[in-house]
Amino acid sequence: MANSQALPDLYPDIEPYDSGFLKVSDLHTIYYEQCGNASGNPVMFLHGGPGAGTSEHDRRYFDPESYRIIMMDQRGSGKSTPFAELQDNNTWTLVEDIEILRKHLGIEKWVVFGGSWGSTLSLIYTEEYPEHVKALIVRGIFTFRRKEVTWVYQEGASALFPDYFEEFVEPIPEVERGDLIGAYYRRLTGNDEEVKIRCARAWCKWEMAISSLLVDEEIFALLENDYFTLAFARIECHFSVHGGWFKSANHILDNVEKIRHIPGVIVQGRYDVICPVQTARDLHKAWPEAEFHIAPDAGHSEYERGIIGRLIEATDKFRNI
């Protein structure tokens, strides 16, 4: 483990040199883009949520002279269509979408990078297709065990942010609060558009409030973007209520043996409330060959300096692998 001193900054803003839409099923089409060096080391960036989509910020973790940076909006997210669609949208269809995109782009092996839900998807993909992964960088570890889900949405995190948790439960009648995920799911998939928007904003505000070491109220401006909040809340709740469709209660950790030969870096904020550090420690115990860095001055957000520094160090480490 290491602390965060003299940390590097993000790489400069860049624009894609290629982008497009790829039909991955009869229903779903995913948006993808490529940035940086077209002849460089391929790296696949997997965004969080699920449902968050990619952003311009995400391109900046990678040296654009060394990396061929590939990003995609997962099903229903960002520019992918149909918007906020839940049908045929699950962990395993997303894993196959990544493979379809890899083949479409003619890539044999790539570095895989993901944070939060992106760490979950990165780990699952690598366990399914280890022969196509050169190295793995994961941040804010989430393995979709039941205790991790209920910590965020039912119990645990509420003790640290009781004021914001009161706002989170407010749209749900008291009689239904014993299962907040189920109660939200019924409303986010219902036909009352006003209720759907209200619940999407409440769901997103809760996560935004607890994502950083210090609450960043400026991020709440995103709550006015119904396009973002609906996709994020609906898809994330959809995955949560179904337990990620995992094949066992401890699926990721049970299958880590498949990837232990792959070089890896695990980055975790000490005060991460969404994905507590214990999960990252559990992963490292199962995968001791991976580097493990705890940023002592960070929560969950990838925008915090301690997290940024460790991620840049990791991508620089693997740029010539």
Q: Is residue 316 packed enough to be buried (19+ CB in 10 Å), middle (13-18) or exposed (0-12)?
A: middle
- What is the per-residue DSSP string for 93-139? HHHHHHHHHHHHTT-S-EEEEEETHHHHHHHHHHHH-GGGEEEEEEE
Structure confidence by residue, pLDDT tens digits, 114-125: 999 999 999 999
Domain that holds residue 272: 18-145+246-317
Confidence of residue 155 (pLDDT cuts 50, 70, 90): confident
The catalytic residue positions are: 116, 272, 300
Is there a single domain that holds both residue 132 and residue 252? yes
Last residue of a domain, one of 219, 244, 269: 244
Cβ neighbours around 99 below 10 Å, total: 14
Identify the pLDDT of residue 5. Answer: 43
Is there a single domain that holds both residue 141 and residue 269? yes
Is there a single domain that holds both residue 151 and residue 99? no
CATH number of the domain where residue 299 is located: 3.40.50.1820
pLDDT of 135 strictly over 70: yes
Identify the pLDDT of residue 15. Answer: 97
Percentage of the chain lying above the pLDDT 90 cut: 90
Taking the C-alpha atoms of residue 304 and residue 297, their distance in angstroms, rounded to an integer, is: 8
Identify the pLDDT of residue 9. Answer: 87
Residue 5 belongs to a domain: no
- pTM score, whole prediction: 0.94
Taking the C-alpha atoms of residue 259 and residue 133, their distance in angstroms, rounded to an integer, is: 9
Residue 178 belongs to a domain: yes
Cβ neighbours around 285 below 10 Å, total: 11
Which of 76, 70, 23, 31 is CA-nearest to residue 50?
76
- Which helix (H) or strand (E) segment holds residue 228: the answer is helix 226-241
Average pLDDT over residues 66-72: 98
Confidence of residue 137 (pLDDT cuts 50, 70, 90): very high
Identify the pLDDT of residue 299. Answer: 95
- Per DSSP, 191 falls in state S
Is there a single domain that holds both residue 250 and residue 206? no
Is there a single domain that holds both residue 43 and residue 108? yes
Last residue of a domain, one of 244, 278, 300: 244
Q: Is 290:264 a contact under the CB 8 Å cutoff? A: yes
Identify the pLDDT of residue 8. Answer: 64
Is there a single domain that holds both residue 202 and residue 274? no
Confidence of residue 6 (pLDDT cuts 50, 70, 90): very low
Instruction: Give all strands of the β-sheet with 110-115 in edge-to-edge order.
Output: 18-23, 29-36, 67-72, 41-46, 110-115, 133-139, 264-269, 291-295
Q: Is 105:78 a contact under the CB 8 Å cutoff? A: no
Is there a single domain that holds both residue 38 and residue 177? no
Is there a single domain that holds both residue 116 and residue 229? no
Identify the pLDDT of residue 59. Answer: 96
Confidence of residue 221 (pLDDT cuts 50, 70, 90): confident
Is there a single domain that holds both residue 29 and residue 59? yes
pLDDT of 3 strictly over 50: no
